[in-house]
Chain A
């Protein structure tokens, strides 16, 4: 089991390498290899999920390979960069989420008919990058995989997007490129500051760490940050560097425009991966680095997080009401829900953090589900515009039913995954920020409004416009299409009904994390 994370990350890359020499016309074999790679990786993720020691809050499946040493990096001591993987109760659910969504996206990509090879190669690289980001236990490893996702998504949008794909791809690249610059700055600053603070403590610590002082290894950094916490000044500027990077990564207001363009222009499987998984990375950074290593700054500025969160919740909700395109609506709804997570992190409470992780997973599944369904509908009706759709419940009953489940899950209907996430998250945030949280709940009420309204326009009522013309040829979901839908729905219901399948993994880690911030 030691190498399970390495396997998870490497399998998609191997699949991509196998696809590369194939003939451009060999669609069937390309698709099977892509599917097989995704499936195998997801199975390994499942195995890791099962083998994970639930009661243990520490990192597990630790694997560390030294990669390069820069001598004289810090005050005459060398810096060893490692490729390191490990998961804990926060990252493992996200690895699992990546597994589920990537398999569904690979199935969805069966519908791609042009440049199939390129599509699968980049998609496999994107999947590998996403796994790597969540499984990384080293700042360098993390950054490396983040850049892989950047490049792979760029190509997916650029080659397979719609009319304005070039614009969208470049916007994506520049925004996220700038975010990654700040992230790198934060990472090196973090390592540097911790190395600095460690030298000022005691000789015994020097003995404990040996001469290898500056480190990018997350486990070591966490250890150092407990033994020699950073001063508030260092924490504050690092906090703002990270916050700025996260605001862009997560497309929070006012940096949200790139996400809207990306979602409007990308094809369905890319949207599933970007909206379902990649958009969770920023908040994962928040949980992973800011909450655990910069607790003082977090405590000092938690109101900022809450307020920024609520701004995104409300802006996202209102913009979603105004949206006329399903993809736009989903994108804004996603921003709105990610704002909730920021609010929960601001609450600095174990329950809130648990709610945050639940929300990340639940929103990931639901976003992927929504994108899948509207993508399938658009394939039949030729449009994403809410106003042009109508009465699909008669012609496409399965798809419409799934869309209803996804919408209800997002709204937070009890019994589905959204509910449990929102309830835990709001309980803790109300305790700390009653006023701000009240505004936050308003966002959820608005979510019910815009989603159900759009639902109603699309599935019920008279068939009209494009839907009417398409009715003759429209066929409901085929078996290969129905599988991913049912699997995703099954997960959504499972988490909603048995929240403990996620909770037992998340809980100990979150408790330990909350201990650091005094929650």
Chain B
């Protein structure tokens, strides 16, 4: 029998978030009027409690803390930390834009539940737990996307996301069912034993299973050619939720990918390298080319996030093409580093965008026209995030891309690195298109002043600090990452 202590050791942060979610839910039912505004703060509070708990799990001995269905290893913990930090920023962002967006306060606990799911899939050791976590994340995000019930775009985006996401989940589940069939167990370690570092006794079924899981995951992280839903869903969802989808969902599913594929097929990954590498290349190219023709900033950022998914697939495909342990560590570190960088710059860009879009009532590039005059501070911050997204030095984005590039080089996959930088050069065009609008042009007629609340400034400033910190002093973070014992 499990004792509570064992469960707490394994799932402490998740438990805190779940309790926080229920408290927020009950509170939101019970109070009326202005008191409801405290609901998101309960969520913020529980995330703030969960972060030190997750932090204390770093370097915890795998054997002592893990239970049958959850592994307490540094891989899961560092992904949990990434998720928690991003969720904190998203929640603050949502609170800051509440005055304008008028989101239903349900979002506070829905975000928490989704986050529990996201954290579970990064550390689950059992197919059932994995799938439950994945669906917890997916189903709550369907609701979150469709949160604006009176808004056609929001409902449509929710519907689209629901259909595509459910199909992807069903495909993944179908793939998982074969794994169970081959191994006779749902535990990942048992399955790994049954596969004997290869494809076990039924290679055909295992091939099919890997293919199905990969397809489902590529849909969920919007890798090309499974990316078509992304722009529509990102455009229709309320902006803080878009940030959540782009950062937390994508990062968590990437964690799922590493956990399942590396854990089960680590030895055989070399055979799949070509496929994943090509998917990464196609994703980078399509994402960045697609962004060129977008006028709506939200769609532009959606395509840019497809491109970023491509960058994030590079370490995954590189780590599979070499048997050197050091290559694997480097690629894992670069993934996590880039995820943190991506979180800060993406949420920051969305936060500035939402302020600007609210001020001018338009989501078009023109909303940014002459922003350097109307609000030099916001224009400067947006420039910072865009420079980071395009990967210029002294920002988090550059260092992240650079370390991904080094990982690919170490694995001998120089072409992936070349495409990474070549597509970044394409990305210059549309990122600097926004900068041009902010600095180059002046708006005719009366310009609506950009009103922004202190809370919005806090979110933007936090993201800016993160972006600059990872860009200027990456040392502590890279040291931390290199000292991790990834899978115990």
Direct contact of A and B (CB under 8 A): yes
Chain A residues with CB under 8 Å of chain B are 67-76, 78-79, 140, 143-144, 147-148, 150-151, 154-155, 158-159, 165-166, 169-170, 173-174, 177-178, 181, 184-185, 188-189, 192
| Contact flag A72-B422 (CB < 8 Å), given A151-B387, A170-B432 | no
Q: Roughly how many angstroms separate A70 CA and B326 CA in the complex, as a whole number?
A: 12
Whether the Cβ atoms of B424 and A181 lie closer than 8 Å is yes
B452 interface residue (CB < 8 Å to A): no
- Residues in A neighbouring B418, C-beta threshold 8 A: 185
Interface centre among A147, A165, A169, A177, by most chain B C-beta atoms within 10 angstroms, is A177
- Residues in B neighbouring A151, C-beta threshold 8 A: 387, 392
Stretch of B128-136, B166-174, B404-412 on the interface side: B404-412
Whether the Cβ atoms of A188 and B405 lie closer than 8 Å is yes
Give the residue of B392, B429, B474, B482 whose beta carbon is less than 8 angstroms from that of A147: B392
B440 interface residue (CB < 8 Å to A): yes
Interface residues of B in 449-480 (CB under 8 A from A): 473-475, 478-479
Query: Which 6 residue pairs of A and B lie closest in terms of their CB atoms, listed nearest first?
Result: A71-B482, A76-B326, A72-B330, A144-B393, A72-B326, A181-B421
B78 interface residue (CB < 8 Å to A): no
Whether the Cβ atoms of A71 and B330 lie closer than 8 Å is yes
| Contact flag A165-B422 (CB < 8 Å), given A70-B478, A71-B330, A76-B324 | no
Q: Roughly how many angstroms separate A76 CA and B482 CA in the complex, as a whole number?
A: 11
Interface centre among A174, A178, A181, A188, by most chain B C-beta atoms within 10 angstroms, is A181
Interface size on B (CB < 8 Å)? 37
Q: Roughly how many angstroms separate A451 CA and B460 CA in the complex, as a whole number?
A: 54
- Residues in B neighbouring A147, C-beta threshold 8 A: 392-393
B265 interface residue (CB < 8 Å to A): no
Q: Roughly how many angstroms separate A73 CA and B405 CA in the complex, as a whole number?
A: 10
Q: List 10 A-B contacts (CB under 8 A).
A: A68-B399, A69-B475, A70-B406, A73-B410, A74-B406, A76-B326, A147-B393, A169-B436, A169-B440, A185-B418
- Residues in B neighbouring A75, C-beta threshold 8 A: 324, 326, 410
Task: Select from chain A the residue with minimum beta-carbon distance to B414.
Answer: A189
A24 to chain B, nearest CB (A): 10
Known contacts A74-B406, A79-B406, A178-B422, then 11 further A-B pairs from the complex at CB < 8 Å, ordered by chain A residue: A68-B478, A69-B478, A72-B326, A72-B330, A147-B393, A151-B387, A159-B439, A159-B440, A166-B440, A173-B432, A188-B409
Q: Roughly how many angstroms separate A294 CA and B97 CA in the complex, as a whole number?
A: 56
Give the residue of A67, A73, A143, A185 whose beta carbon is less than 8 angstroms from that of B406: A73
Whether the Cβ atoms of B440 and A165 lie closer than 8 Å is yes
Q: Roughly how many angstroms separate A69 CA and B333 CA in the complex, as a whole number?
A: 12
Interface centre among A70, A173, A185, A189, by most chain B C-beta atoms within 10 angstroms, is A70
If over half of B's interface residues share one DSSP class (helix, strand or loop), that class is named, otherwise mixed; here it is helix
Give the residue of B392, B403, B417, B482 whose beta carbon is less than 8 angstroms from that of A185: B417
- Residues in B neighbouring A177, C-beta threshold 8 A: 425, 428
If over half of A's interface residues share one DSSP class (helix, strand or loop), that class is named, otherwise mixed; here it is helix
B305 to chain A, nearest CB (A): 21
Q: Roughly how many angstroms separate A78 CA and B478 CA in the complex, as a whole number?
A: 11
Whether the Cβ atoms of A71 and B421 lie closer than 8 Å is no
Q: Roughly how many angstroms separate A45 CA and B406 CA in the complex, as a whole number?
A: 35
Give the residue of B429, B440, B481 whose beta carbon is less than 8 angstroms from that of A174: B429
| Contact flag A174-B409 (CB < 8 Å), given A72-B333, A151-B387 | no
A118 to chain B, nearest CB (A): 8
B199 interface residue (CB < 8 Å to A): no
Task: Select from chain A the residue with minimum beta-carbon distance to B337.
Answer: A70
- Residues in B neighbouring A78, C-beta threshold 8 A: 482
Task: Select from chain A the residue with minimum beta-carbon distance to B473.
Answer: A68
B329 interface residue (CB < 8 Å to A): yes
A68 to chain B, nearest CB (A): 5
Interface centre among A72, A74, A173, A174, by most chain B C-beta atoms within 10 angstroms, is A72
B327 interface residue (CB < 8 Å to A): yes
- Residues in B neighbouring A150, C-beta threshold 8 A: 392
A475 to chain B, nearest CB (A): 32
- Residues in B neighbouring A178, C-beta threshold 8 A: 422, 425
- Residues in A neighbouring B261, C-beta threshold 8 A: none
Whether the Cβ atoms of A155 and B329 lie closer than 8 Å is no
- Residues in A neighbouring B101, C-beta threshold 8 A: none
B139 interface residue (CB < 8 Å to A): no
B19 interface residue (CB < 8 Å to A): no
Interface residues of B in 363-407 (CB under 8 A from A): 387, 392-394, 399, 403, 405-406
Q: Roughly how many angstroms separate A192 CA and B403 CA in the complex, as a whole number?
A: 13
- Residues in A neighbouring B409, C-beta threshold 8 A: 188, 192
Whether the Cβ atoms of A181 and B422 lie closer than 8 Å is yes
Q: Mark B319-347, 1 if CB is under 8 A from A, else 0.
A: 00000111101100100000000000000
Q: Roughly how many angstroms separate A187 CA and B275 CA in the complex, as a whole number?
A: 29
A316 to chain B, nearest CB (A): 26
- Residues in B neighbouring A144, C-beta threshold 8 A: 393-394
Whether the Cβ atoms of A71 and B329 lie closer than 8 Å is yes
Q: Roughly how many angstroms separate A70 CA and B405 CA in the complex, as a whole number?
A: 12
Whether the Cβ atoms of B329 and A72 lie closer than 8 Å is yes
Whether the Cβ atoms of A184 and B421 lie closer than 8 Å is yes
Whether the Cβ atoms of B478 and A181 lie closer than 8 Å is no
